[in-house]
Amino acid sequence: MQKKTFLFFFVFSLFLQAQEDISGKYNNIVITPEILLGKTLPSNFGFPETKMYKQLLVNISKNQKNTPKQWAHRLKGLHTGVGLGLTDFGQLDSLGVAISVLPYVEFNAFKSKRFKLLTGLGASYFTKKYDPITNPNNRAVSTDITWAFRFLIKYKLFATKTIDWNLGIGLSHHSNGHTKLDNRGYNAILASISGAINNPFNKSSLLENKPPIPQYQKSRYNYLELRAGHGWNVLAEAFNTTK
């Protein structure tokens, strides 16, 4: 099930990069190398002592500015993309490293073009996990693959002709969703520095060959929505064992 989820997010993120106009498909691409530093918070009593949290991400996104879609128009400055990352949680012997694939969206915030919000949800593969014999103090995750979530508030420091330099603060979370115990999860507080390389393939926009972007007007609708769901009980130490 988790492998299928991982594959779904990976394929979905690639789909987001697809362009409707093949002749100009590379001009809206943005490649953003990103370095994040921070602190992994203790997940349980006796959690291993950690040094600095370190993460390297390479984000590949599409600037939706010239997309004639209403959802892209409503969310000003929207970027959709996927990040590929390698994370050191600050204790290689017990916590190991994580390899992550994180589809995300990024958009303007606080009515400013300098501030942006970034949120992403994907999956991570861990090289170390909880084991009652060989790794008893790391009760954060007990599966090889987990959900991965990140949230950042970004601020544009300055921009050159091709690169936007940004600082950010935020958090990350890794958890298997309580599909197996132990599962306290990894939580980290982060600071980020990144450089967004706009149009790295140096392709012309070819806007003259594209249809004009519609001018959408504000509108309101009344609707009635009914929902139903089906799931399973979340595992908890009060009712379940780690076996």
Which tens digit of pLDDT belongs to each residue from 142-184? 888 888 999 999 999 888 888 889 999 999 998 887 677 777 8
Classify residue 72: in a domain, yes or no.
yes
pLDDT for 211-237, tens place per residue? 666 677 777 778 898 988 877 666 666
Domain assignment of residue 131, given as a range: 2-21+29-209
What pTM was computed for the model? 0.73
Classify residue 228: in a domain, yes or no.
no
pLDDT of 200 = 66
pLDDT for 32-59, tens place per residue? 999 999 998 888 888 888 899 999 999 9
Measured distance CA(106)–CA(128) in Å, rounded: 31
Instruction: Please tell me the total number of residues recorded for the chain in this structure.
Output: 243
Classify residue 197: in a domain, yes or no.
yes
**What is the number of domains present in the chain?**
1
Question: What CATH number does the domain containing 127 carry?
Answer: 2.40.160.20
Classify residue 234: in a domain, yes or no.
no
Q: Which range has the worst mean pLDDT, 8-12, 31-35, 108-112, 148-152?
A: 8-12
Classify residue 128: in a domain, yes or no.
yes
Measured distance CA(162)–CA(199) in Å, rounded: 7
Classify residue 65: in a domain, yes or no.
yes
Classify residue 99: in a domain, yes or no.
yes
29 neighbors 200 (Cβ within 8 angstroms): yes
Classify residue 47: in a domain, yes or no.
yes
